[in-house]
Structure 1
Amino acid sequence: MSTPTIYITITAHGFGHAARTASIAGHLQKLLPTVKLIMVTTAPKWLLACYIDGDFIYRQRGFDVGVVQADSLKMDLDATLSKWQQIITAKDEIIAEEVAYCQEQGVNLVFGDAPPLATLIAEKLGVPCWMSGNFGWDFIYRDWGREFTAIADWIGDCYGRCDRLFRVPLHESMARFPVIEDVGLTGGDPKYPVDFIRDKFDIQPAKQTILLTFGGLSLDAIPYQNIDRFPDYRFITLDAHAPDLPNLVKVLDRAYRPVDFMPLCDRVLSKPGYSTYAEALKLQIPIISLTRSGFAESEIILNGMQDFGYHQVISPDQFFADNWDFLNLPLQPPRSSQKLAVDGNQSIAHSILDYLGVNLSTAFQTSS
């Protein structure tokens, strides 16, 4: 058969959707090195390369909005609405351009997380559209009411044209999708041995080691000064703007991701977000999470975290206070005795290969 080609569209919102989708793509490439991956996103190429070891085509396009934000907690609803109106007005032009591109590339399958336009591109192209995710954007927007109701209706109609949804844990019902297959957690896995990370970044043993990670948008005015109150703790951040402090390890090399540091951490301090939670839950690392209002996914994510992992929930006021007394409080155990499946990357990749009719043993012989 000709080179199998997958057109992968990723929602234009932070880094989480890109990280978890690139993790699936990276696993697919390991199983089938000859696959041609077209990664369609506004996320930076270097981020995708952290999860995909081999070559891929980087097509810098955005087909949805997500939420326009100043940082990981502050949302701009008016700007979000305006951008969506622009996209819907231009949708026919966008679809025509992408269909022509996909035809040139010989695309066999459209995969998304989860720009609604992906379903219309696939429909016009004449190939299936598969998606993965834990929520649809209509679920987020419908909660906001006002002019977002019409946009949520339009998005729901697009999702109704999706041929197959791989629904990951920590999800809303996603009932607009006609075919739903539940899979395990997706997301990245650590690339390096713990001792290598500890030695390279001189992360000395401490009473507790805590990873501070707030997604690609980070947070405005993180109160790093509180770290001074815990001299026997070790903190790790990938925030290039963090101050230089004796017990703060600042990681500036983009080749390293939060998940690469999780195995040597006692806790992860974050905000509600599927990718960070999924990676921590897969590794059974406790999570200290801020709450987040106005974003419907957050309550679902927080509930899932409390059900399946050791955890602590704090308010933004506690986080931005000048003491971080919450670090002295005990963690809460998981509320459920059930265990989450962690094989989402593998399940989705194998389903794609099955659809392509790829025999793995033959594929490896051909590529070797």
Structure 2
Amino acid sequence: MSLIWCSISGHGYGHAAQVVPVLNTLARRAPHLKALLRTSLPSTFFEPRLKLTWELSPAQQDIGCIQNGPLTIDVPGTWEAHRALHTEWDQKIETEAALIREAHPAVVLSDISHLGIAAGAAAGIPTIGLSSLSWDLVLEPFVDPAIPEHAVILRQIRDAYGKADRFLRVTPGLAMTAFRAMDDIGPIAEPSTPERMTLRRSLGADDADRIILVGFGGIPLDTLPFERMARMPASRFIFDGPVPKGSSRVVPLSALGLPFKQVLASADLILTKPGYGTIVESVALGIPVVYVRRYNFADEQSLVDYLHHYGRGAELSRDDFYRGAWEPAVHLALAQQPAAPPPPLSGPQDAAQFLARYV
């Protein structure tokens, strides 16, 4: 049985959502493949999604960003967390490399942990990066020239990335320069089959009701303008988070007993931030998107551009989001038409074809 060691960022669910379709596709080429998931994400994310033998090895692989909710980056907290991770950096690489050597994987796949890449290279195992972004580009706008430690951490991240044997840049992706060899691959998503009538029956929705999914990814959103939402005409909401008791038009996702992906595929519109998995799946399914921008996250513009070219979308300002003034953006998104058909979701096949040579 071949083993693939997967170093997966725990910053939200987007990185794991890229890795899972690749592993599922690769397993069809290599039926005896096993995946070791080296990540801080819970097993509950992978259990309904992964279709090959796998084992979870809980461990922090990177920082990404420390966030105060899904829309705000805690910049000082982010640098402090990176400082802690990079303390005794060489020793941490060697400790991780020793675990990789002990496991004897055929290949190391990292999305997009610099620790995983540095350790895979140190272990002498073929090491492949996979992502639509890299953490050096995410951190670069926040570097304070008056704090030399920031530049040191950025250099260590880029040095680690430079040790990858190959980097597979997922469409839409950033113009990354830290990797010595790079191939572009198609978009990655694994959309569910829409079950719109099933979802409507679960909600008791009228034919005229719009079903709006409010989901901001793996970093929790703990507040919404529930009173204004309840007054929006012909609208029912599903929120991936807690809902006040007695709310008649807002239902928590957990109460439906349906996976997030199926609800996304079956909703009439999604309100979210521009995150890779949600945007690419929504475009593939033709689901309109109302998005709230952060304006300081590196891959946000590429995702917004992708949405407006291939999908249906409208921006909602942060102020309008928090005060519940959603109706104009919802109408605009529903009225949009794509400028061009979306590209095929070839990323899983592209990556699997490349990785198959190792497993």
**Fold conserved between structures, TM > 0.5:** yes
Q: 1:343 and 2:346 equivalent? A: yes
Q: Paired residue for 1:213? A: 215
Q: 1:319 and 2:321 equivalent? A: yes
Instruction: State how far apart, in whole Å, the 2-side matches of 1:255 and 1:336 are.
Output: 35
Instruction: State how far apart, in whole Å, the 2-side matches of 1:207 and 1:197 are.
Output: 12
Quick one: which amino acid aligns to residue 176 of structure 2?
M
Distance 1:107 1:201, change over 3 A: farther
- 310-319 vs 338-347, greater mean Cα deviation: 338-347
Deviations 1:286-316 (A, max 9, x none): 1110111322222222222222211101110
Query: RMSD between aligned alpha carbons?
Result: 2.4
Deviations 1:307-348 (A, max 9, x none): 221110111011112442325532364674363231212221
Please give the secondary structure, in 2, of the residue aligned with 1:56.
Answer: strand
Q: 1:92 and 2:90 equivalent? A: yes
- 288-297 vs 92-101, greater mean Cα deviation: 92-101
CA contact (8 A) 1:4 1:36 kept: yes
Q: Report the alpha carbon displacement of residue 186 of structure 1 after superposing the two structures with TM.
A: 1.1
Q: 1:53 and 2:51 equivalent? A: yes
Q: Report the alpha carbon displacement of residue 55 of structure 1 after superposing the two structures with TM.
A: 3.3
Quick one: which amino acid aligns to residue 102 of structure 1?
I
Instruction: State how far apart, in whole Å, the 1-side matches of 2:113 and 2:273 are.
Output: 23
Q: Report the alpha carbon displacement of residue 170 of structure 1 after superposing the two structures with TM.
A: 2.4
Q: 1:299 and 2:301 equivalent? A: yes
CA contact (8 A) 1:224 1:243 kept: no
Deviations 1:53-74 (A, max 9, x none): 3431101111210101121012
CA contact (8 A) 2:8 2:15 kept: yes
Q: 1:288 and 2:290 equivalent? A: yes
Please give the secondary structure, in 2, of the residue aligned with 1:165.
Answer: strand
CA contact (8 A) 1:4 1:107 kept: yes
Q: Paired residue for 2:30? A: 32
Unaligned runs of 5+ in 2: none
Distance 1:242 1:28, change over 3 A: farther
Q: Paired residue for 1:158? A: 160
| Correspondence 1:1-368 to 2 at 5 A | 3-146=1-144, 147=147, 148-190=150-192, 193-199=195-201, 202=204, 205-241=207-243, 243-252=245-254, 256-327=258-329, 329-331=331-333, 333=336, 336-337=339-340, 339-356=342-359
TM-score normalized with structure 2 length: 0.90
Instruction: State how far apart, in whole Å, the 1-side matches of 2:15 and 2:33 are.
Output: 21
Deviations 1:215-270 (A, max 9, x none): 11132422122221224212222214455422223221697433211232221110
- Identity across the alignment (%): 24
Instruction: State how far apart, in whole Å, the 1-side matches of 2:168 and 2:324 are.
Output: 42
Q: Report the alpha carbon displacement of residue 121 of structure 1 after superposing the two structures with TM.
A: 1.0
Distance 1:265 1:131, change over 3 A: same
Instruction: State how far apart, in whole Å, the 2-side matches of 1:160 and 1:346 are.
Output: 25
Instruction: State how far apart, in whole Å, the 1-side matches of 2:44 and 2:103 are.
Output: 23
TM-score normalized with structure 1 length: 0.88
Unaligned runs of 5+ in 1: 357-368
Distance 1:202 1:181, change over 3 A: farther
Quick one: which amino acid aligns to residue 71 of structure 1?
G
Deviations 1:106-149 (A, max 9, x none): 21101011011222111111111111111111001111121433
Distance 1:328 1:109, change over 3 A: closer
